[in-house]
Structure 1
């Protein structure tokens, strides 16, 4: 049965705004209209009582004092009581200027200068001091540069280290209060065990994925890995995931954003969860696509990615994480790119801006700018398909590779291994969508380094020295485009 339509002057939108500002569950349909009618009734009742005091005072104007007396008579606690009587601001005459008519006298109100220290020492009005209004309390923000550990001050920011690595909340602690009221006990238990198994403890990450612990047999998996594989299989195929899908998607997005500077193994486990959700064919994922895009773009474009400083045995590496995130993005675009025509242009615009942004100093104090953002942008462009690679990275004759050539010169100054950088690997991986597969009987016949340097730049030519098939194919594409351009000019 629909809620009755309330005809009043108090808007229901105000009720909605107040409800959203408080830690309450969303209002049901028609609840705001009913509450607005109740508020309007109480306001009318309060004003009716205030008019009685106005009539008894033999006045025709309703004053704030009448409203205050009405609230006291109705046993309603006043939040703010104005002083009585209301002060009248004095007006002072402005001295007339030269040429001004003396009869046109101007007046102005003088603003009082308030000493903040004196104002804080003054006692609060009785209504404010005894109500739930604003209260003042003094405390030290810092004493000789040290912040006191008191409840009024936020906790000091902790430095990232081996014992303080950010980790996502799992198990029953990952359930929000509203989820505990909306989900059945069975679904709550399923969600808690699922999240606890999908992200193993940090101590188990060096043995993942599938690496046996020290002293164990080579074919045995640790318990944490077996539980994670079983949980991923459940997310990938079970229909029961639909009951907790909204909470699972939100948990994955918040966990990725929280652990961008945490252990790379944790980020890799969360990427596997996103891929498993996309692989599930029995659940409806489309309403939650936009919640996946933000975390995937964060993994691709965040610099630095992983703990600071990075550990020597960091597995997987940030480059591997970006590559895996790009693969998941490729799957998402292939599944839903045609259904949502604006999806690929929006992603392409983001990656293009990141690729053409100016290099910035390393936040870790390195001598050269970080290259992870540009590597992730190229991986993202490659994930969108061959058309976007041709549009952004290649152009007509490979002239847009000049951007990559210049970035390599800036990001890797004085490095003799420029051809083995992550940016070059990502670039050639994206360009492989434009070239033909290498035949089995192909005989090495790469173009000269001078021609490649003339076509694409010295840094790209150096990187192509160990990639003869890629070099020959890129040179072929360049020459074919040049010949087509020459023929069109001859026809004109």
Structure 2
């Protein structure tokens, strides 16, 4: 009878190795069959870890496997890695044989006891202690070493991308250390993430406040979500909570919960400190379900599910304006979904209302390119639903809502693409049942635009007229003759309504005599009165006052 060890291949674990491993953890007396089963399972697990480690080695552009590759493979399998065993190069093993068995061992370095004794003692470790710190003060995370550092939007965007570094064969060895550091980015989707106790408490409080019954707490939580700068680590959890919550509440027809979850998504979209692009694959389909869902509540004819659709359309438009780029083509894909919803007649006009509202929020160009070509089709559906009996009140209500929406936002686009000379018959042929109403609204909008243009022109003309300053009529001047001996004096001319002021003419009162004799100042060394006399003669004729100045030479 052959021994059990003879059936085991050469390079695999032996039965004695398995028994020794079991005895090292305190298990002895294993059955022979159990040992063989453990041997096969250990062999499979070891091979699996080695294969994963080889993948990390290949991603790092290396040929030699390192202990860090094994640690990465263990982390991927959610197994605690080995601590205290790390080396920049491979670890050499020595081989020995004897008694028909082979043994691989690692050579250990001999230590000198004298060197160990003379070596300085290590630093004494500090006793464990507890301390408290502020996680957030008035919604703002303080910049202390105990709190996580808030990442900028650029760094968040770089971390969210899984790009493989490209190295050439020539610098394989020089880039080996950098490639080891790049493995978290290459395998970021496979990493498990853990939250601290404070973050778990914050997540629990935020989610309970947002969907709870207190309006004050809900408003405070929404403000915190829209302004907090330290939500980057919690962002995947919030997005998953919103997506799963919308999925459950749509199936249960709970409209109020859908409103609360949509407000959470809007608060995250308004936060300028987080990069929301990596969460769009979860958030956009969930919010689109609220917009294009056939039935969102238990009683659609009584409950206001239209406001939820309008709010969802606004959030989708915010996502498209902030995160749409040529790499993801978010807005193009959203418009394509709306266009397919408009062509689907099996889902009801409430879905058509959501699609049209979504296109309206995306802008006038989306309405012109998608809604206007389908106006005749929508007009036929609306007319068909309005002509039916009152048995289907939901579809009639949706038809009225859709008609009101189209008549409100389509005339602006029709003003740009239709000629002013188009007649009512042309509108009826092109847009069917909605043609007459659209024709009247377009004509009224053009008249209003023309009136506003005339008002603006009139206002501009009036402003220009007021800015022109006309020249006032000339004021009456002071007339008179002067004959001066020596240095002449210059009288100051004033308006007739203004009193006359001069350094050498005193102020005239209304009771002044018609003729007043004044003495001018002396000039140089001349004696007073040597220059002559100055006479001011005042005459009044109606409302005009004339002053005549006469100066005579001394006698």
TM-score class, shorter-chain normalisation, is: 0.3 to 0.5
TM-score (normalised: structure 2):
0.42
More RCO (CA 8 Å, sep 6+): 1
TM-score (normalised: structure 1):
0.47
Higher strand share: 2
